[in-house]
Structure 1
Amino acid sequence: MDDPGPRQSLRFLLLYGLAAAGGAVAYVPFLTILLPLRVNALSGNDNVEWLAMVTFGGAIAASATNIAFGWLSDLTRRRRSWIALGLCGSSLLLVAMAQATSLTGLIALVFCWQVTLNMMLAPLAAWAGDCVPDRQKGLLGGLLAFAPALGASCSALVTYPGLAGPDARLVLVAALVVAMVLPALLFGKPHPMPHLMDDAPEKDLPRVISSPSTVAKMWAARLLVQIAEAALFAYLFFWLRSFIPDFTDSDTARLFGLVLLTAIPLSFAAGRWADRTGRPIAPLAVAAGFSAIGLVVMALAHGVVPAIVGYFIFSLAASVFLAQHSSQVLQVLPAPKRRGRDLGIFNLTNTIPSLIMPVMTIALVPRFGFSGMFALMAVLAAVACAMLATMARAR
């Protein structure tokens, strides 16, 4: 039976979901396609080394500033003001990338862009915790599943042949982000939810008990799944080429996009079940378990059909896990008045894998092949499943 307590308006939820997708569009096309092209144009034969330095420095800046701006939005209690400032700054700096004529200038712009981007992203994530009650966080997770799909779709859009030149692509991305984020700021008008700012949990809904061990398990589980997801995202193309030599990067992009689109209804279904039953952690444990199963299938695959089946199982489960985790983690944060800062600490699970994954790949793939790497990632996902399973019946 549905709970009769206060609910957030569907208008705000939809506009917030659009804004969250805009946050993904703000960095996915740039970091995956447009930035590598810029680095290649300026660096020539040293493009790989320069791109690695730019990416590493950007990840460090993103990690630190996400925590900082989340904390500042906690102190000022003005989430929308920070989001608006970050939206303006990151959009202008993105367009300014076209003016970079040297690698040092590009690196400086990327660093400043990361700062302003996280000025938008950190309070945007915390805003959901201020406005969406626990009984609707499963629905929120379903809406958040649109973010990676739209990010990938916009990457394909801005690079469509003949649509826009290199400089115009940056303008197009900035315009898309503004069009997706601004409506929530102007027209969202969420119903006030003062009880979400109390340190005590909602009294009218069974909820996960916030404790240091609960928070630690949620953080560690996401990190483990993210390591596997990041490694597969980076090396999927090379792995598939071992089965299909003429497999192209375009084929990989279409496969990845199909998985992201399929994950949306699954995430909605998982979120709806969590909302109706008051068991937000159970879908996370199940998704982590299926991620491990998919990785085992991939590790054992000796042909293209089982390889793609295993990839679909893992990637669908991981996509549902990440979308639902982004919303359900808001239930376990111990101090709502420090929500933005704490979410910034959770955001480290998105950046740390980029530091771990290269070391893991170099250590495993030359000696054991991709099967060895997938086997280790399956163990990581299984550990995440086990940790979450101990919490799944918590109320």
Structure 2
Amino acid sequence: MTIPTHTALDPRPTPRGLECGQKPTEPKSPLFVAVLGLAQFGIFVALLGPVMVSMALKVNSLVTDPTERTSAVGLVLGVGAIAAFVGNALFGRLSDRTTSRFGRRRPWLVGGVLVMALALLAISQATAIWQLAVGWFIAQLGANAAFAPYIATLADQLPEKQYAKVSAMVGTMQSVSILAATAIATQFTENMLALFMVPALIGVITVVGYAAVLPDPVLRERPAPLDLRTLASTFWVNPVKHPDFGLAWWSRFLIILSSFLFTTFRLNFLVDRVDLTDAEAAAAVFTGVLIYTVVLVVASWVAGVISDRTGRRKGLVAASSLLFGIGVAILAQAHSLPAFYVVEAIMGVAYGIYVSVDLALVLQVLPNPEDSGKDLGVFNMANAIPQSAAPFLGSVLLASGAAAGPNYQLLFWGAAIAAALGALVVLPIRKVK
């Protein structure tokens, strides 16, 4: 049976000769690239608003005890991070195998972002912590049902000569979305419906807009039944056979763990340690993220130039991880808003250096160039797993010795140690200078 090559969402026929798995050679238009970037922006605005500010504000509206608040935030965000970890791999593989007449990616883009929006609506109206946990779990599943196919469209649609420029733009959109998410949150601290639904609507509009212009080829042949053992082996690289890759994996895991131990409980820290109101804390988070983002962009550009000119990667990655740990250690002793802003600047410098150099290092230690997609999928677990672990681990650290309130000093020293270990494990890598 012949499957149509056009859809109701996109009445244009699939470009001549372009089939699933075939690499395009013609560059995409500036309009397409702009809409692609806006979709990245929209998804992350909807997701990072709750992670950075909104979920803590929602929990604070339901719980009064400071220790119970931090435990509840850790529980809700931790459950959602598990959904993100499972959903990203699952829906990416399912979209590869989708035979819809609307294309492989488009149904997941539209369906996923709508599920996310409905779950965020339910969260805004929730009256119990368990409802927040269930709602955030579903929201993360929906978001990743859209995001995993979205990332796959970069490989589907872009010729190699556009990889670097578009990837840089997508990365910039993620940083800008963090700033936008916190800015939106500061405007709606007293309105839970708007707090969650304004970012959700931005996500829906931008992702559906991208789906509408996406020339998504139709998969013409039904794939063989999925073997669970094959699926599981797709996400594994033997660290004994490939030690440099394993060390790079652990370095990323530890710096992401350190970062999320900080960001998950940042708003609560400002309320409990600096004695700000919820609204003041949300505004302070926005200012901190603004400082962090500006410094990150500058540091990233400078470090990238230095790394490319000298060929040095390992030392810059190790130094940036160590500097990040120093910043978190300073925060462990801080009790004032100016000190918080100084730490945001330090960590912005550190993470800017890290993100500009670490991926170059990773690409140099991939085990097999023919399996780079699979291997990078394994490496992305070093982003997802600590995001799941950080809220739970952070809740435990905060509750330790909690007679006088949440133990932020122990939390931040734990984050500092993780970052320092992330610096150390890079040093034995042999393939990279």
TM-score above 0.5: yes
Contact kept? 1:142, 1:271, Cα under 8 Å: no
Instruction: Find out whether 1:171 has 2:171 as its counterpart.
Output: no
Instruction: Find out whether 1:95 has 2:128 as its counterpart.
Output: no
Q: Which residue of 1 aligns with 2:421?
A: 380
Q: Which moved more, 1:97-106 or 1:356-365?
A: 356-365
Q: Which residue of 2 aligns with 1:263?
A: 296
Q: Which residue of 2 aligns with 1:70?
A: 92
Q: CA 1:339–1:381 in structure 2 vs 1: closer, same or farther (change >3 Å)?
A: closer
C-alpha separation in 2, matches of 1:116 and 1:64: 11
User: Counterpart amino acid of 2:381?
Assistant: I
Q: Which has the higher helix share?
A: 1
C-alpha separation in 2, matches of 1:217 and 1:262: 28
Equivalent pairs counted in the alignment come to: 366
Q: Which moved more, 1:125-134 or 1:302-311?
A: 302-311
User: Which of 69, 73, 94 is residue 51 of structure 1 equivalent to?
Assistant: 73
Q: CA 1:299–1:41 in structure 2 vs 1: closer, same or farther (change >3 Å)?
A: closer
Aligned to 2:187, the other structure's residue is in SS state coil
Q: Which residue of 2 aligns with 1:392?
A: 432
Q: Which residue of 2 aligns with 1:295?
A: 325
Contact kept? 1:237, 1:252, Cα under 8 Å: yes
Q: Which residue of 1 aligns with 2:181?
A: 154
Instruction: Find out whether 1:350 has 2:369 as its counterpart.
Output: no
Contact kept? 2:42, 2:206, Cα under 8 Å: yes
Q: CA 1:351–1:141 in structure 2 vs 1: closer, same or farther (change >3 Å)?
A: farther
User: Which of 20, 24, 27 is residue 47 of structure 2 equivalent to?
Assistant: 27
Aligned to 2:432, the other structure's residue is in SS state coil
C-alpha separation in 1, matches of 2:213 and 2:150: 15
Residue 150 of structure 1: how far off its partner (Å): 1.9
User: Counterpart amino acid of 1:383?
Assistant: L
Alignment of 1:274-353 (within 5 A): 282=312, 286-296=316-326, 299=329, 311-322=344-355, 332=366, 335=371, 338=374, 342=378, 345-346=381-382, 347-353=384-390
Contact kept? 2:115, 2:142, Cα under 8 Å: yes
Contact kept? 2:91, 2:149, Cα under 8 Å: yes
Q: Which moved more, 1:355-364 or 1:150-159?
A: 355-364
Q: CA 1:386–1:18 in structure 2 vs 1: closer, same or farther (change >3 Å)?
A: farther
Residues 246-294 of structure 1 deviation map (CA, whole Å, 9 limit, x = unaligned): 89633343122221133234435656787x7797xx5575244223135
Q: CA 1:265–1:178 in structure 2 vs 1: closer, same or farther (change >3 Å)?
A: farther
User: Counterpart amino acid of 1:79?
Assistant: R
Instruction: Find out whether 1:124 has 2:142 as its counterpart.
Output: no
Q: Which has the larger radius of gyration?
A: 2
User: Counterpart amino acid of 2:28?
Assistant: S
Q: What TM-score comes out, normalization by structure 1 length? A: 0.71
Aligned to 1:154, the other structure's residue is in SS state helix
C-alpha separation in 1, matches of 2:63 and 2:318: 40
Q: Which residue of 2 aligns with 1:202?
A: none
C-alpha separation in 2, matches of 1:374 and 1:307: 15
Residue 93 of structure 1: how far off its partner (Å): 2.4
Q: What TM-score comes out, normalization by structure 2 length? A: 0.66
Contact kept? 1:22, 1:177, Cα under 8 Å: yes
Residue 392 of structure 1: how far off its partner (Å): 3.1
User: Counterpart amino acid of 2:290?
Assistant: G
Residue 47 of structure 1: how far off its partner (Å): 4.3
User: Which of 112, 119, 133 is residue 138 of structure 2 equivalent to?
Assistant: 112
RMSD: 4.6
Residues 268-327 of structure 1 deviation map (CA, whole Å, 9 limit, x = unaligned): 5656787x7797xx5575244223135347657999999866652333221453477579
Contact kept? 2:25, 2:159, Cα under 8 Å: yes
Q: Which residue of 2 aligns with 1:231?
A: 261
Q: CA 1:342–1:47 in structure 2 vs 1: closer, same or farther (change >3 Å)?
A: same
C-alpha separation in 1, matches of 2:398 and 2:432: 32
| Runs (5+) with no aligned partner, structure 1 | 192-209
C-alpha separation in 2, matches of 1:41 and 1:239: 16
Q: CA 1:228–1:337 in structure 2 vs 1: closer, same or farther (change >3 Å)?
A: closer
Contact kept? 2:399, 2:407, Cα under 8 Å: yes
User: Counterpart amino acid of 2:133?
Assistant: I
Residue 337 of structure 1: how far off its partner (Å): 6.6
C-alpha separation in 1, matches of 2:50 and 2:420: 32
User: Counterpart amino acid of 2:430?
Assistant: T
Residue 82 of structure 1: how far off its partner (Å): 1.8
| Runs (5+) with no aligned partner, structure 2 | 1-23, 218-238
Q: CA 1:190–1:292 in structure 2 vs 1: closer, same or farther (change >3 Å)?
A: farther
